[in-house]
């Protein structure tokens, strides 16, 4: 490939079209903007929404970082990076601080992002109300009427049944006191990072053909009740066996020989930075 | 010396890609693209139809690259399609002028212009012809020779194959086909604009025609078998070539840019006559199916789903446009199903946390 395709795969018209949808998304925080999602050379559901955002935004001077489930070296991250680099020739990095454009699946990096950076999140199911309402026609109306009783009831029912909110990743948030938004399947642990973020956060769902955004310094609150406050995943008393990191999202690993469970930083770049004596 | 990142992913991917190539060619044979184009008509038609990209040569390469996997070949074609500049929409094609190669009606025995069986598997016995494993070029050429000679001495039929009367026109004269006003609203391009529900018919027909063959047939069958309201009769099924023209931006004429083979189906379904106030009269409505190449089952199933989705009263999933239209696209369905192979350990950990919490809460 390479030479036969335009810079960043798409023709300029397509990129502009995607950027227009992106601008609209930024103007209406948390609102899902439909866009003419293209078929990509990677699978629908493998990050085509994020990839389209990245390709529409990328310039020659961009420094790109791609992560999948916290890792720069996860096969899918490598594969997406390979496609972007082969059609753009941009520089890549694993160092979160150096990147200007970060595409990620299911994680927000541990180090706070800054205002020079854009975070692109890959989204499988953009509709936070899909679990309570299967029809797109109806969920669109619920959003326009701010009718989020279904989402509240879902949380309420979990509390009634299990005495706790059992929702795992992709925990719904309220953006700027208006739209309920699916933050993509980031763990609950990452939800607070959406609030008042310095970096622009863009979310792209290729298969479902939606783009939405959390602009910088936007209020993002995880849905919760006063007496049942929002809780992130519990890592108390656990630390990374490599860098000793605490207060970060940890992967659970089982030792093949001893059968013992130990923990390791999920954000590999952050772990590496700590190991190398970075702050 | 500092720590360096593990570089497992890139190498593993590279090896896997090598392995894939090895599997394709390990027997030392090279599949000629001309062999695919010449002998894999059915596969090419399916792939072109699901890709919504009409190009037999590119489809043949895609099929070769995909080792015959339809899902993969369609995926390749669709991704390729994304990179093609889209400069024109063709002028409206009137299929009345189709150069017909095959044309049957299940509604009437005698139709103007006659039944034309053309090319079909319908009347073959599905017995594996083991002789095909020994078929050689010489005998093929000999057969072709005699076949062509036979054709030459035949009297040409006295029907105009480019202007066959439609079965529907006969019924329309009788007034029992539901009157539909000509609707010249430009169609919505579903690849340019997201579907909004309720959809327009132009959107539905586009999604159906590019749907995954198996999915369209399965849903059409479900409707026919009982999860739908209708038993259609195939009024007319046609396979043939239609000309594609684009408008001349500088003048009133048009440019011919080529022709494509399509399958077209009109199915008849009886329904209450909307113009009859008492509601005690029936008439026929038409379900429409059309797709690239010769894909007859798909086109018929499409005509059933077209009618199902026109139904106002929704009783079955096959009448629910979101249910049908959102789930029959090959690239979308296979993409999302296959994404389950991606690591989900962050999300799964989060899920485990939720489960563990309920257990702790109970124990307390």
Which sign, positive or negative, has the C-alpha torsion B277, B279, B283, B284?
A: positive
A164/B354 CB distance under 8 A: yes
DSSP for B98-127?
A: -EEEEEE-SS-SS-TT--B--S-STTS---
The Cα A154–Cα A159 span in angstroms is 9
pLDDT at A259: 84
**Under an 8 A CB cutoff, do B332 and A207 touch?**
yes
Percent of chain B, pLDDT > 70? Answer: 95
Query: Is the pLDDT reported for residue B312 higher than 90?
Result: no
- Provide the shortest C-alpha distance from residue A143 to chain B (in Å): 15
pLDDT band at A253 (very low <50, low <70, confident <90, very high): confident
Give the A:B interface size as CB pairs under 8 Å. Answer: 165
Domain definitions of chain B by residue range: 10-82, 95-129+160-328
Q: Is the pLDDT of residue B9 over 90?
A: no
CB contact under 8 Å between B5 and A268, yes or no, is: yes
Average pLDDT, chain B: 90
| Residue B198 CB-density burial (10 A; 0-12 exposed, 13-18 middle, 19+ buried) | exposed
B83 and A94: CB-CB below 8 Å? no
CB B220 within 8 A of CB B302: yes
Name the minimum distance, in Å, from the CA of B183 to any CA of chain A. Answer: 25
Q: Hey, which residues does B203 pair with through a beta bridge?
A: none
Provide the percentage of residues in chain B whose pLDDT is more than 90: 63
Question: CB contact, 8 Å: A3 with chain B?
Answer: no
Spatial neighbors of A242 by CB under 8 A, at least 6 apart, are: A264, A265, A271, A275
Q: Which candidate, A165, A256, A178, A158, places its Cα nearest to that of A218?
A: A178
pLDDT(B342) > 90:
no
Q: Which residue of B has its CA nearest to A13?
A: B85
Query: Is the CATH number of domain A12-222 3.30.70.260?
Result: no
Q: Chain B residue with minimal CA distance to A18?
A: B192
Among A179-188, B60-69, B74-83, B180-189, name the one with the lowest average pLDDT: B180-189
Partner-chain contact B83 A252, CB within 8 Å: no
pLDDT tens-digit map of A1-25: 334 678 999 888 889 999 999 999 9
A6 phi and psi angles, rounded to 5 deg = -70, 165
CB contact under 8 A, A73 and B322: no
- Return the closest-CA partner of residue A208 out of B325, B16, B279: B325
Average pLDDT of the segment spanning B150-174: 85
Question: What is the predicted pLDDT for the residue at A189?
Answer: 95
Smallest CA–CA distance, residue B256 to chain A, in Å, is 26
Residues of A with a known catalytic role: 30, 240, 243, 265, 271
Query: Which of helix, strand or coil describes residue B153?
Result: helix
Q: Would you state the pLDDT for residue A2?
A: 37
Closest-CA residue of B relative to A39 is B79
Please report the pLDDT score of residue A3 as a whole number: 45
Position A243 pLDDT exceeds 70: yes
Question: Across chain A, what does the average pLDDT equal?
Answer: 93
Q: Which pLDDT value is given to residue B5?
A: 59
pLDDT band at B363 (very low <50, low <70, confident <90, very high): low
- Convert the pLDDT of each residue in B46-66 to its tens digit: 999 999 999 999 999 999 999
- Which helix (DSSP H) or strand (DSSP E) does residue A210 occupy? strand A210-214
What residues 90-149 of chain A have any CB closer than 8 A to a CB of chain B?
Answer: 94, 105-107, 124, 134-137, 140
For residue B279, pLDDT over 70 is answered with no
Predicted pLDDT of residue B362: 63
Q: Give A55-106 pLDDT, tens digit per residue.
A: 999 999 999 999 999 999 888 899 999 999 999 999 999 999 999 999 999 9
What CA–CA distances, in Å, run from A262 to A110, A167, A232? 20, 24, 20
Give the range with max mean pLDDT: B33-37, B108-112, B341-345. B33-37
pLDDT in tens, B221-254: 999 988 887 778 999 999 999 999 999 989 889 9
* CA-based nearest distance B165→chain A, Å: 39
What pLDDT is recorded for position B269?
87
pLDDT of residue A1: 36
Residue A5 contacts B where some CB pair is shorter than 8 Å: yes
- ipTM of this complex prediction, to 2 decimal places: 0.80
Helix (H), strand (E), coil (C) string for B15-67: HHHHHHHHHHHCCCCCCCHHHHHHHCHHHHHHHHHHHCCCCHHHHHHHHHHCC
Inter-chain touch A162–B12, beta carbons under 8 Å = no
Find, in chain B, the residue whose alpha carbon is nearest to that of A69. Answer: B346
pLDDT, tens only, A122-164: 999 999 999 999 999 999 999 999 999 999 999 999 999 988 8
Q: Does the beta carbon of A186 lie under 8 angstroms from any beta carbon of chain B?
A: yes
Indicate whether this model's pTM tops 0.90.
Answer: no
Which tens digits make up the pLDDT trace of B180-189? 788 888 999 9
pLDDT at position B336, please?
A: 94
Domain residue ranges of chain A, discontinuous segments joined by +: 12-222, 234-279
Which residues in chain A have their CB less than 8 angstroms from residue B314's CB?
A: none
Residue B38 φ then ψ, to 5°? -80, -35
């Amino acid at each position: 490939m390479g030479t036969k395709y335009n810079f960043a795969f798409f023709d300029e018209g397509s990129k502009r079209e995607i950027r227009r949808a992106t601008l609209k998304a930024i103007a209406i925080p948390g609102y899902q903007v439909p866009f003419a999602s293209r078929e990509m050379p990677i699978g629908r559901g493998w990050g085509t929404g994020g990839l389209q955002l990245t390709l529409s935004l990328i310039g020659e001077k961009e420094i790109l970082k791609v992560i999948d489930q916290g890792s720069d070296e996860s096969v899918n991250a490598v594969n997406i990076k390979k496609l972007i680099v082969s059609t753009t020739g941009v520089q890549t990095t694993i160092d979160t601080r150096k990147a200007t454009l970060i595409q990620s699946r299911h994680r927000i990096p541990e180090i706070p992002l800054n205002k020079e950076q854009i975070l692109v999140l890959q989204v499988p199911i953009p509709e936070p109300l899909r679990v309570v309402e299967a029809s797109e026609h109806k969920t669109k109306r619920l959003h326009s009427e701010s009718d989020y009783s279904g989402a509240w009831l879902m949380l309420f029912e979990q509390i009634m049944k299990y005495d706790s909110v059992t929702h795992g990743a992709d925990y719904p948030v309220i953006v700027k006191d208006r739209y309920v938004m699916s933050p993509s399947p980031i763990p609950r642990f990452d939800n607070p990072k959406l609030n008042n973020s310095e970096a622009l956060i863009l979310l792209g769902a290729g298969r479902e053909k939606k783009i939405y955004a959390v602009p910088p310094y936007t209020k993002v609150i995880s849905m919760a009740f006063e007496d049942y406050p929002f809780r992130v995943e519990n890592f108390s008393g656990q630390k990374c066996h490599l860098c000793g990191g605490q207060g970060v999202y940890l992967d659970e690993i089982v030792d093949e020989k001893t059968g013992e469970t130990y923990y390791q930083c999920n954000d590999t770049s952050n772990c590496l930075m700590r190991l190398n004596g970075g702050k | 010396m500092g720590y360096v990142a593990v570089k497992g992913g890139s190498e593993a991917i590279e090896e896997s890609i090598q392995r894939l190539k090895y599997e394709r060619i390990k027997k030392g044979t090279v599949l000629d693209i001309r062999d695919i184009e010449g002998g894999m008509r059915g596969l090419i038609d399916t792939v072109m139809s699901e890709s919504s990209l009409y190009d037999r040569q590119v489809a043949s390469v895609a099929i070769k690259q995909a080792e015959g996997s339809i899902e993969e070949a369609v995926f390749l074609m669709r991704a390729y399609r994304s990179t093609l500049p889209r400069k024109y929409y063709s002028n409206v094609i009137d299929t009345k002028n189709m150069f017909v190669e095959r044309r049957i009606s299940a509604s009437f025995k005698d139709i103007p212009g006659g039944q034309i069986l053309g090319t079909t598997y319908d009347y073959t016995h599905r017995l594996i012809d083991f002789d095909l494993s020994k078929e050689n070029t010489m005998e093929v050429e000999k057969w072709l020779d005699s076949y062509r000679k036979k054709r030459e001495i035949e009297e040409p039929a006295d029907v105009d194959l480019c202007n066959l009367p439609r079965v529907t026109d006969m019924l329309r004269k009788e007034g029992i086909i539901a009157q539909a006003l000509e609707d010249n609203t430009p169609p919505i391009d579903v690849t340019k604009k997201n579907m909004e529900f309720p959809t327009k018919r132009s959107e539905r027909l586009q999604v159906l025609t590019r749907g995954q063959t198996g999915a369209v047939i399965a849903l059409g069958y479900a409707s026919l078998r009982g999860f739908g309201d209708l038993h259609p009769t195939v009024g007319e099924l046609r396979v043939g070539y239609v000309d594609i023209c684009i408008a001349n931006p500088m003048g009133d004429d048009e440019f011919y840019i080529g022709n494509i083979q399509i399958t077209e189906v009109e199915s008849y379904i009886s329904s209450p006559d909307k113009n009859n106030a008492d509601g005690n009269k029936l008439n026929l409505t038409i379900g429409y199916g059309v797709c690239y190449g010769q894909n007859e089952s798909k086109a018929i199933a499409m005509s059933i789903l077209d009618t199902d989705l026109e139904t106002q009263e929704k009783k079955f999933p096959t009448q629910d446009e979101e249910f049908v239209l959102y789930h029959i696209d090959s690239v979308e369905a296979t993409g999302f199903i296959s994404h389950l192979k991606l690591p989900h350990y962050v999300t799964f950990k989060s899920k485990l946390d939720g489960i563990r919490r309920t257990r702790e809460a109970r124990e307390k």
